[in-house]
Structure formats: C-alpha cells, structure tokens
Amino acid sequence: MTQTLDRDAFFIGGTWRAPATAETLQVVSPHTEEVVATVPAGSPADVDAAVAAARQAFDTGPWPRMSPQERIEVVQAFSGLYAARLAEMADLISLEMGSPTSFSNLAQAPAPWMMVEAFLGIAREFPWEETRPGALGADVIVRREPVGVVAAIPPWNVPQFTTMSKVVPALLAGCTVVVKPAPETPLDAYLMAELLAEAGVPDGVVNFVAAGREVGEHLVAHPGVDKVAFTGSTAAGRKIASVCGEQLKRVSLELGGKSAAIVLDDADLGATMEGLKFIGLMNSGQACVAQTRILASRRNYAAVVDALAETVSSMAVGDPMDPATEVGPMVAQRQQERVEKYIALGQEEGARVVVGGNGRPDGLDRGWYVRPTVFADVDNRMRIAREEIFGPVLSVIPFDDVDDAVRIANDSDYGLAGTVWTGDQEAGLDVARRVRAGTYGVNTYTMDFAAPFGGHKASGIGREFGPEGLAHYTELKSIYPTTPGM
C-alpha cells in the first residue's frame, strides 16, 4: 500500500461528505508508534447527518421495500467485491491495530467474508413471511419486517468481523445503518464503504462516521435510531443498555469474557497446547473469546504448567507484518499499560510468573509490546482470574475433580466461551452442557456462522450469526386476513 491512507470525508448519504469540524483522528502504528494516517473525527453534527440520511433511506427509500431476493442480490455483489480485496483488508487491519498478519489473513479479513456468505444462505431460507393455522380457525400471516435504523458500533480488536456481523444481517433484513468505527481502526471501514457503494447499495442505506466515545453516546441516544448493535466492553455495554432501556430501543450487546479452558487428565497434552496457544493468545490476547483461565487438575497441574510455559515461551513476538509473528503489540499505549498493571497485580496477589512478566520483549525497543505471560498458583478469586485483561496473559488454576472444574468455570461474571480438552468425547460433551457459556468447544474452539454466537451473564444480550442473528434485525407482525364478503 504505497498510496496515502489519509482521508478527509465521511461516507454519508451515498457520497463522501466533508466533516462538520476540523477535528481529526491520528491512526498510529502500534509497532512503530508512528502516525500512518489521518482521518476526520466525527462530531455530533456528523452523526446527525448520518442518522438523517439513514432515516430518509428507511422511511422513503427503496431498500426496505425491496423483496428479500433483491436485497440478497446486492449483498451477493458486495461479497464478490469483498473477496477480491481480502489481502488489502488484512494488511489495513494489521497496520492500524497491530494484529499479526497470520491472524489477519486467517480471521480479520477472510472470516468476515465467510460470514457474508453464511448470512446469504440463511437469508435465502429465512421465513420472511409465513402463513400458519390460527387457534381461532382462520389462517394468520406472520411477517418479519426490518427493525429500522441501526446504530452499529464495533470495537477496534476485530473491526471488520464485528462490523460485518451487524451490517450484513441488517442489510438483508431491509434496515439502514449508521456505523461508528472505533477511532483506533477507521481505515478498514473506508474500504468497506467503497465496496458497499460499488455493489449498488442505495444512497443512505449504510453510513460511516469514525468517532470517539462521546460521539458514540450521542449516536446511541439519538431519537432517529431504532436499534443499537454494540460489541465492546461490559462497562460500555451497561451504559448503552441503560439508554436503550429508557427509550425502549432495541439493543444487542456482545461484551467481554473471562472464559475457561478445562484440561482433563486424559487430554492429549501436545494437541491441547496447540489449541490453547490459539484460543488463549489469538490476536495477541485481544479477543473477547480468549480463554485465559486454564483449569488443570491438581494431579496433572505441574505437567500442564510446564507444557504451557514451553509453548508460550516459544511463540514469536514482534512486527505484526512478519508472517512468522504469533504475538504482536497491543493496540495502544494505554492498553500496554493496562496489561502491565495486571501483570504486576497478579504478582501482588500471590500468583507465580512462570513465563514473561513485566518489561519489553527482547529486541523490541519501540512499539506497544508486552511479554506473553503465564501465571501459575492462581486462585479463581484473584482479580487476574476474574477481570478481562485483554492481553497475552494466561492464568493456570487448579481443580480437584470434574465437578470442581465446572464450578470454577461457572464462577465468573462472564459466560461467553469455553473449551474442554479430553480423550473422552462423551465426557467432554457432558462438561460442555454444564458450563454456562454461549459457545463451547470439545478439543477445539470455533465460531460457526450458521449457529448463534453470544454470551450469558455480563457477556451480553442477544445473539449474532445464524438465523437468530438475522432475526435480531426484524420485528414481527401478525396479519389476520378475512375471507372476501365476510
């Protein structure tokens, strides 16, 4: 990417519109700490313009009035255009937030495209309108209609993944959308806007305004918005839920996690370590589904700690654009400092550092890096075991037996994800059914876009993906037809 990445406008109403103020956002490389692009910073006036465009497109425009098949054809065109730009999208995300290029080319760009394709298949079979026998003898027509104007607010860690999970089902349902990209990661959103316009999405149907938290609050509370779809911290989610509750506004929240991976004694330790390396430290630990509590039995505890220490210490840390890199920098200096504070806190609480600890990784004098860290002798009551760190920090917690492992896994404010590692498939499925988490894996972890994704407890409200995710962007209407002449 040799061309300038600077931008001077927002995508509003189908055109590139000049911002209302001269305020800008600097996109800083987490690896070099240098500014790589400057883009406008959205203001309340820019949000007002975007909501007005989305409102007009919904209230009077063609998109909500098209047939589902017509909308599917436009989104299918977008999918084809997106597929041709996957490498460019992956590079943009690695540049702006420091995701290792290996992860960007596995998940940051291809996974959103796979999600589009999955939603297209779901939309083709979705019961947009059905006739069912009524309890009073006459048939009833049940329609699923678009919920209205959607405020889509993704985070910085997997920006396209979380944007796509909102925009595509909203579009297929007939909604219009205002997307507020995170201020750290606006560049990928500009490319997405260009591709949507090229695909033929009508003017005003999707609008993009990158901005900070205060402007995001203005968008959430905007009276022209019918639904808020948010991915981010639990603290922010609580505030959004409160505003939406006051306004009786539809809301879906995909929030934090502190997920547990249970390692049973009969697990293949080599395969388990390969799995834990990914699910614990994917995206340098900056993932809501990261399973950072590793639960091991007391009889096998030392073996699990040693194997995990060997695995983590061998991981390559460095330049996110290097294909060999497995752990990159934190997205920002504040995140680097946050993780370092938790590492110090873990030691204060009495946990033992087996690998890592505070201080820069060897050979990295610049960039917002932290050392991948493994804690042993962790009690589940410690803050490092209860609070989401959002960095490459793993805690190994001992358990007595399977019942104790399930109890510890469930002893959390969160309930987003989890795994169990075992040589007994049936035993693993039994554990999976007992842990209160929205997604769970036996000897693996994945998210299938045909199935619902979301969390229990403080991990959120509602579900994304699958028919359930599409349904979140619809309202139900019952129509009672009469026989002519009655």
Question: pLDDT per position in the chain (486 positions), as tens?
Answer: 446 899 999 999 999 999 999 999 999 999 999 999 999 999 999 999 999 999 999 999 999 999 999 999 999 999 999 999 999 999 999 999 999 999 999 999 999 999 999 999 999 999 999 999 999 989 999 999 999 999 999 999 999 999 999 999 999 999 999 999 999 999 999 999 999 999 999 999 999 999 999 999 999 999 999 999 999 999 999 999 999 999 999 999 999 999 999 999 999 999 999 999 999 999 999 999 999 999 999 999 999 999 999 999 999 999 999 999 999 999 999 999 999 999 999 999 999 999 999 999 999 999 999 999 999 999 999 999 999 999 999 999 999 999 999 999 999 999 999 999 999 999 999 999 999 999 999 999 999 999 999 999 999 999 999 999 999 999 999 999 986 655
Question: Is 34 annotated in the active site?
Answer: no
Reported as type and span, the H/E element at residue 189 is: helix 187-199
Q: Report, in this order, helix, strand and coil percent for the chain, each rounded to 5.
A: 40, 20, 40
**What is the DSSP-derived secondary structure letter of residue 202?**
P
Instruction: Compute the distance between CA of residue 105 and CA of residue 123 in angstroms, rounded to an integer.
Output: 27
Q: pTM (2 decimals)? A: 0.96
Instruction: Compute the distance between CA of residue 5 and CA of residue 191 in angstroms, rounded to an integer.
Output: 10
Question: Is 254 annotated in the active site?
Answer: yes
pLDDT at 484: 62
| Helices 301-313/269-281 angle, 10° precision | 60
Among residues 96, 175, 244, 288, which one is catalytic?
288
Q: Report yes or no: 178 and 230 within 8 Å, Cβ to Cβ.
A: no
Radius of gyration, CA atoms only, the chain? 23
Residues 6+ apart with CB under 8 A from 94: 100, 101, 104, 108, 320, 321, 328
Structure tokens at 464: 């994304």
Phi, psi of 17 (to 5 degrees): -105, 135
Q: With the C-alpha atoms ordered 316, 383, 359, 313, is the resulting torsion angle positive or negative?
A: negative
Q: Report yes or no: 176 and 63 within 8 Å, Cβ to Cβ.
A: yes
Q: Report yes or no: 49 and 166 within 8 Å, Cβ to Cβ.
A: no
Note the residue count of the chain.
Answer: 486
CATH 3.40.309.10 in the chain, residue ranges: 260-448
Three-state secondary-structure class, residue 398: strand
Structure tokens at 372: 């991948």
Angle (CA) 351 357 361, round 5°: 165
Could you confirm whether domain 10-255+459-478 is CATH 3.40.50.1820? no
Reported as type and span, the H/E element at residue 387 is: none
Q: Report yes or no: 399 and 297 within 8 Å, Cβ to Cβ.
A: yes
Among residues 184, 254, 340, 464, which one is catalytic?
254
Query: What are 42-100's pLDDT values in tens digits?
Result: 999 999 999 999 999 999 999 999 999 999 999 999 999 999 999 999 999 999 999 99
Phi, psi of 249 (to 5 degrees): -95, 140
Q: Which of 416, 431, 418 is nearest to 462 (CA)?
A: 416
Phi, psi of 389 (to 5 degrees): -90, -35
Structure tokens at 231: 């991915």
pLDDT at 122: 98
pLDDT at 4: 85
Q: Which of 295, 82, 264 is nearest to 191 (CA)?
A: 82
Q: Regarding beta strands 129-133 and 139-146, do their DSSP bridges make them parallel or antiparallel, or are they unpaired?
A: antiparallel
Residues 6+ apart with CB under 8 A from 350: 377, 379, 382
Q: Regarding beta strands 418-421 and 260-263, do their DSSP bridges make them parallel or antiparallel, or are they unpaired?
A: parallel
Structure tokens at 176: 């219009």
CATH code matching the domain that covers 260-448, chosen among 1.10.3720.10, 1.10.10.60, 3.40.50.2300, 3.40.309.10: 3.40.309.10
Q: How many other β-carbons are positioned within 10 Å of the β-carbon of residue 451?
A: 15
Instruction: Compute the distance between CA of residue 349 and CA of residue 306 in angstroms, rounded to an integer.
Output: 21
CATH 3.40.605.10 in the chain, residue ranges: 10-255+459-478
pLDDT at 482: 83
Structure tokens at 78: 């977008």
pLDDT at 1: 44
